[in-house]
Amino acid sequence: MASLYYSSESSDSDGGIDRKSLDLSYLMLDSDSLSSYLRNSVQEQSSAYQHQGSRLTSISAIGNQTNEDDDGSQQEERIKLQKQMESLTTEAMGQDFSKLNSTTKKAPSLPNRGLERAISLLPFVVQDPDENDGSEPKTLMQDNITEKLFLNHNIILSVPYEIVFFHKLKSLDLSNNNLSHINDFILHLPELQSLHLKNNNLDSYGLPKELAVLSKLREINLSGNQLTTVPPQLFEVSSLKYLYLGNNNISEVQPEIKALQNLQVLHLGSNNLTMVPEELGALSSLCALVLCNNKLRRLPQAISRLTSLRSLLLHNNNLCCLPVEIVKLRGLNELSLRDNPLVTRFVNLCAKDLIYTPPSLKELAARSVQLNRITYSASDLPVHLHNYLLSGHKCVNPKCKGVYFSSCVEHIKFVDFCGMYRVPLMHYLCSSRCTSQTPSAYYTRRLSSSDSEDDRAPDTTMRRVLLG
């Protein structure tokens, strides 16, 4: 199950650092030192290309000569260098060399003007914002090779400007630094997929407001920071699949989280949550939900709509019971409930909350309208009453035809999980005189014609229920 909690984007397939990675981690670099390292790296790469470029120019001149004086060794060397040049230009320009040659009037077999033009395009002029003294701007080369940049475990206070040179960067690790703010420089990384910012000093306003321009961003790790709410700009990054917000001070999850329809892993463990919104149930792609080490007393009924959920970690909370709808999660194969007052302290901590509030006159009237099937239209009622009538719920007891709106009876039923664990599930009944069957009987009752064939399968996929 551990593989559910980590994205495929953040792991190295070959188990090591490849030639497309630049590792500057654990060097105790400050921001200025890091700027120098990154600048030197780009300039060294530029020098290497310029050196190779002078060789390529010589090859081009050779290509314009006749082949009559070439012996076998010269021809072989020329072909070898031609292939090196094509490979170099492809990497440097980030495009197919054959397409570049096709833009010329002729398509010579040997590198000539087309390649010289490609080489001349490699460097570009950059004016450092810290050097506005009127001097000539320096010529630097854009790094189109590096895809992974490791800057973790340093003493960086701000993201250096030189980060914009790494145009092909896919993964950026700035974890374990002293960052309190991420500036807009990272918005100039159009290929970025993974952004690791854990264990810094970022608050809820520490991220760029226009984060959504990173349209390929799949993973953000903000664990171990100073967040009190989920940064609202995250809700605009619709491409997100993995969101790690653990070990912060988050006390509220905004309803706007429903916008992250591609989210597969949501880690909110070790925060100060007392509740999670109903809108969480709209995340239909969610496979792993981590809510452990919070202060949750209840879960919303909408949790049953997370049909893709495989792992649900709820340990070390204040949960007295679970919503009965949780039995609908037949794909769930790991449920962690340890260190909750579910059983041992249930009577002392939870039973006092189960107080039945008599229904209001408005609720009694609405129940009568629904039970007697009184016909009405939207124009017959004020908008708020019409909406109220649409918010009714059926009693959980399959033998009862009652309904309820804002007033219901909370009824606890202890149910066997995996044949050995007794877990309390919360039922909502329309009346204190109404009794309910066990959730298993409720779940396997006769299905309506609108239920799918998948709903007819028995609930047999639960693998692990961790109570201790």
pLDDT score, position 127: 46
Convert 414-467 into a string of H (helix), E (strand) and C (coil).
EEEECCCEEEEEEEEECCCCCCCCCHHHHHCCCCCCCCCHHHHCCCCCCCEEEC
Contact call for residues 262 and 283 (beta carbons, < 8 A) = no
pTM: 0.67
Q: Determine the average pLDDT of the residues in 414-433.
A: 64
| Banded model confidence at residue 362, pLDDT cuts 50, 70, 90 | confident
Which residue type is seen at 106?
K
Inform me whether the pLDDT recorded for 239 exceeds 80: yes
pLDDT score, position 453: 36
136, exposed or middle or buried, with CB in 10 Å at 0-12, 13-18, 19+? exposed
pLDDT score, position 285: 95
Q: Averaging pLDDT over each range in 85-89, 133-137, 286-290, 392-396, which range is the top one?
A: 286-290
pLDDT score, position 413: 64
**277 closest CA partner among 316, 241, 251:** 251
- Using CA of residue 332, residue 340, residue 244, residue 207, what is the dihedral sign? positive
**43 closest CA partner among 129, 121, 143:** 143
Q: Determine the average pLDDT of the residues in 390-404.
A: 81
pLDDT score, position 107: 33
Cα–Cα dist 196/11, whole Å: 12
Structure tokens at 307: 């049909």
Pick 147 or 43 by higher pLDDT.
147
Q: Determine the average pLDDT of the residues in 134-161.
A: 82
Q: pLDDT tens-digit profile of 373-388? A: 888 888 888 888 888 8
Cα–Cα dist 155/65, whole Å: 57
Inform me whether the pLDDT recorded for 411 exceeds 80: no
Q: 169's torsion region: left (phi>0), alpha (psi -120 to 50) or beta?
A: beta
Secondary structure element (H or E) that encloses residue 410, with its range:
strand 409-417
- The DSSP letter of residue 129 is T
Give the residue range(s) of CATH 3.80.10.10 domains in the chain.
2-20+145-295
pLDDT score, position 351: 52
Contact call for residues 202 and 227 (beta carbons, < 8 A) = yes
DSSP string for 41-99: HHHHHHHHHHHHHHHHHHHHHHHHS-STT--HHHHHHHHHHHHHHHHHHHHHHTS-HHH
Distances (CA, A) of 366 to 308, 391, 397, 403: 35, 10, 19, 9
Q: Determine the average pLDDT of the residues in 287-300.
A: 94
Pick 449 or 89 by higher pLDDT.
89
| Banded model confidence at residue 34, pLDDT cuts 50, 70, 90 | very high
Q: Determine the average pLDDT of the residues in 403-431.
A: 67
Class of domain 2-20+145-295: alpha beta
- Using CA of residue 277, residue 302, residue 272, residue 331, what is the dihedral sign? negative
Segment among 23-32, 67-76, 241-250, 277-286 with least mean pLDDT? 67-76
Inform me whether the pLDDT recorded for 229 exceeds 90: yes
Inform me whether the pLDDT recorded for 291 exceeds 90: yes
Cα–Cα dist 194/199, whole Å: 16
pLDDT score, position 274: 95
Structure tokens at 200: 């810094």
Average pLDDT, the chain: 75
Inform me whether the pLDDT recorded for 426 exceeds 50: yes
